[in-house]
Amino acid sequence: MAIPDIAKPAEQAGQTKQGLRYRIDGSIQQTLLVDLAAGQTVYSDAGAMSWMTQSVAMNTHSSGGMGGLLKRALSGATMFIVDFTAQGSEGHVAFSADFPGKVLPFELDANQTVIMHKHAFLCAEKSVGLDVFFTRRLGAGLFGGEGFVLQKLTGPGAVFTELDGDAIEYALKAGETMRVEPGHVAMFEASVRFDVEMIQGFANVLMGGEGLFLATLTGPGRIWLHSLTPSKVAHRIAIYLPSKG
């Protein structure tokens, strides 16, 4: 397997194919700044917006009606989606990353799909479809880890993602498999097969320190991995916290 490509820092200013203007500020913990022309809309999961101008209107709704609401509730994803639309004049809305890392923009062609962890999704143009992703095997959803929810985004349009730490990109060949601690899985193309397997070996399970399960990503297709996970950061910080009693 070739040495991976480290995703280049997100372009600091750009414009999507549909004319949406944006800027990405910061280095360690980045913020996406979006300039909306009158009538332009972007959307995000509920709670993702950081600030916006008075000309931007919010519209909170369920994605896909009651069926979509039920799927998102069962999966553990946020139940509602929020549209941000500039009304009457230009508007400005910002989305800040929740964790130190990178904000990366992607342009999806019509019917092109990418699968990502729920925490990787920041916002998207209104033309992009959003749905909860269910794997073919139940075990992948049950054992991916607490809060491990995948979302499927389908073009056309631009998607903005937040990846914790550095974004490591691999291009997997057909049949090539990467085994990953589930918390490091950020995003992968729809052509990649995702599953979860139990770690083999009694000593590995008890003393390996990697939990019971590994995610498997099998090509062909590109995958993006987080170099940093909140759970490992929390574990490291907990060592230095005073114990009770």
**Range 11-238: architecture per CATH:** 4-Layer Sandwich (3.60)
Task: Look up residue 201 and give its two tokens.
Answer: 């070996």
β-partners of residue 107 are 158
What's the N-to-C CA distance of the chain in angstroms? 50
Give the least confident one: 114-128, 138-152, 220-234. Answer: 138-152
Cα 222 from chain centre: 15
- Greater confidence (187 vs 10) lies with 187
Residue tagged 């700044």 (tokens): 33
Cα 207 from chain centre: 30
Helices (H) and strands (E) in the chain, counts: 4, 21
Q: What share of the chain is helix, strand, coil (3-state, %, to 5)?
A: 15, 45, 40
Region of residue 69 (left: phi > 0; alpha: psi -120 to 50; beta: else): alpha
Sign of CA dihedral 117, 118, 122, 127: positive
Which alpha helices (DSSP H) does 47-109 contain, by range? 65-75
- Greater confidence (218 vs 237) lies with 218
- Each residue's pLDDT tens digit, 77-86: 566 889 999 9
How far is residue 184's CA from residue 171's CA, in Å, rounded to a whole number? 16
DSSP state of 166: S
Question: Domain ranges in the chain?
Answer: 11-238
How far is residue 198's CA from residue 209's CA, in Å, rounded to a whole number? 13
What's the mean pLDDT when you consider all of the chain?
81
Query: How much is the pLDDT for 201?
Result: 47
How far is residue 164's CA from residue 234's CA, in Å, rounded to a whole number? 14
Mean pLDDT of 200-215: 54
% of residues, the chain, pLDDT over 90: 49
Give the least confident one: 60-64, 101-105, 182-186. Answer: 60-64
User: What are residue 76's phi and psi, to 5 degrees?
Assistant: 95, 0
- Each residue's pLDDT tens digit, 181-203: 888 999 999 999 998 877 654 44
Instruction: With a cut of 60, say whether residue 210 has pLDDT above it.
Output: no
Instruction: With a cut of 90, say whether residue 33 has pLDDT above it.
Output: yes
Q: What angle do CA 136, 141, 142 make, to 5 degrees?
A: 125
